[in-house]
Amino acid sequence: MADNILLSAVPVIAPATRIALRQRKQAVCRRGDRRRPEALFVRESTLSHSAGEIRARAVLAGGCDSPVRSGWSVGGPMFVQTSAAGAYAFDESGRRYVDYVMAYGPLLFGHTHPALTLRLDELARGGFVWGNTHPEEVRLAERIRAYVPSMQRLRFVTSGTEAVMSAVRVARASTRRSTILKFAGNYHGHFDLALFGAGASAHTQVAADAGIPEGVMRDVAVARYNDLASVDALVQGRETDLAAIVVEPFVGNMGYVPPQPGFLEGLRERATRVGALLIFDEVITWLRFGLGGAQERLGVVPDLTAIGKIMGGGAPIAAFGGRADVMSVLAPDGPTFTGGTHGGNPFCVGMAHRVLDLIEAHPEYYARLRKIAGRLAGGIRVIFERLGLPFAVVQNESIVDFKFRAGPPSQNFDDALAADKRAYASYYRAMLDRGILLPPSQNEVMFVSTAHTAADIDETIAAIDESVSLTIP
């Protein structure tokens, strides 16, 4: 997995410091210390920690509720946010940052869009959770199915992790098989089998150290994205035990990586041929890529689909669904259990209706998002061309990304891992100093929202110009 050393606060590490860190890391590895080498340098970081971070570390495990937030991948310190509005995040001092994290994707309209944040008492008047099926839950399912016809039957849950985990269980029950094939660099949440070869910031290397039984590994095959030969090699001899192929149709967790022509079609053909199911993880792509998601754009129909909290504008609601015959294995119609008290709760369902209402009322939002993201990507390309940097800039809809790696855009996790992690960490710090909040991991992407303005983009481009020049003098 990714091999990150924590960095000091200066934009570029002095050569002597680099050598010292490298030597110490090598010594640690020779001693056989089973902790991540980068974790050993946390206490020695020269970065100062805010009062909020110190307080968090005293009570939250690791000081955070999701490891990427700690900032360890970029040398820290942790960004502690106190408020947000529109395209902006604010730190403990009240300083404003142009935010491209956007909660890692679900904030399509930015923070605090009035259509989502006003009159919340109307949604809460009847309570937050009932534990019973209700008409608005049914209506939301009907609306989703109208846009994603492959989801003939669906079930609401609370997170993307739960959605994919449940889809995997349904696939195994429907096929009566065990093996799941996934792809290195894709991220499907934090349940056991999803963490092998995962992207995002899930640096799971040794199963036993990560609390994952080694037996789980027997039922997981991790292939190379965009490589059908890799799929064939792993499936050979296991055809009759392959339950499902699970994939991000467009990947957003090893940077942005699109499928090569014929790749997803090849997965569809192979799954059908061996009697396995094809699962699309559209937690990032549904609504980001339109009301029909990636599957409508690509013309490839999966058997099961997982969608996430973007449907609630960031509220904790997700869903999985697919073919009626496949979903029929779920209790009470079948023997397979999934369920939870908060699934389909009226408050989050109400938020999801508001999101769909907003998109339906403003179809022009997608053109606006493409324009503003294109402005950002174009500005970055101009900078790289002027500086003679051979880095590819990619943009699709409202996602923008580049890697500190020479050559064409990434096609798989190997390409993503070849990017310069030290350069990204230095770049991240320089951008933060200039009031731009990027994801604290090079495996993530920049998300643009309808709240971002041309002025925000121009401010960002100016900051990128300065920061890249400092990072790569």
- The CATH number of the domain holding residue 461 is 3.90.1150.10
Q: Is 456 a known active-site residue?
A: no
CA 458/CA 436 separation, integer angstroms = 12
Domain count within the chain: 2
pLDDT of residue 206: 61
**Pair (34, 168) in one structural domain:** no
The answer to whether the beta carbons of residues 432 and 97 sit under 8 Å apart is yes
Inside any domain, residue 10: no
Q: Are 222 and 234 within one domain?
A: yes
- pLDDT for 45 equals 36
- For 142-171, b/e burial (b = at least 16 CB within 10 A) is ebbeebbebbebbbbbbbbbbbbbbbbbbb
Catalytic residue among 91, 192, 281, 303: 281
Are 158 and 267 within one domain? yes
- Find the catalytic residue in 182, 309, 403, 421: 309
Shared domain check, 235 and 134: yes
- Tell me, yes or no, if 309 is annotated catalytic: yes
What pLDDT is attached to residue 48? 61
C-alpha dist (Å) from residue 129 to 341, 347, 442: 8, 7, 38
Q: Tell me, yes or no, whether 417 and 315 share the same domain.
A: no
Kindly state whether residues 146 and 174 are assigned to the same domain: yes
| pLDDT at res. 73 | 85
- Domain annotation covers residue 48: yes
Q: Are residues 130 and 105 in the same domain?
A: no
Co-location of 346 and 381 in the same domain:
no
Residue-level pLDDT at 203 = 58
Q: One of 100, 187, 366, 424 is an active-site residue; which one?
A: 187
**How far is 329 from 338, CA to CA, in rounded Å?**
10
**Domain residue limits at 448:** 15-112+364-471
CATH number for position 309: 3.40.640.10
Q: Judge whether 6 lies within some domain.
A: no
Other CB atoms closer than 10 Å to residue 439's CB: what's the count? 22
Q: What is the pLDDT along the chain (473 residues), one digit of tens a residue?
A: 333 322 222 233 334 333 333 443 343 333 333 333 333 233 333 356 788 888 998 989 888 888 888 888 898 789 999 999 999 999 999 999 999 999 999 999 999 999 999 999 999 999 999 999 999 999 999 999 999 999 999 999 999 999 999 999 999 999 999 999 999 999 999 888 887 776 555 555 666 677 888 888 889 999 999 999 999 999 999 999 999 999 999 999 999 999 999 999 999 999 999 999 999 999 999 999 999 999 999 999 999 999 999 999 999 999 999 999 999 999 999 999 999 999 999 999 999 999 999 999 999 999 999 999 999 999 999 999 999 999 999 999 999 999 999 999 999 999 999 999 999 999 999 999 999 999 999 999 999 999 999 999 999 999 999 999 998 86
pTM over 0.75: yes
Listed residues 316, 332, 361: the one ending a domain? 361
User: Which long-range contacts (C-beta less than 8 Å, at least 24 apart) are formed by 58-67?
Assistant: 66/201, 67/201, 67/203
Look at residues 319, 342, 361 and tell me which one is the last residue of a structural domain: 361
User: How far is 158 from 314, CA to CA, in rounded Å?
Assistant: 11
Contacts of residue 229, defined as CB under 8 A and 6 or more positions apart, other chains included, come to none
Q: Tell me whether residue 65 is one of the annotated catalytic residues.
A: no
Does 151 lie in the same domain as 186?
Answer: yes
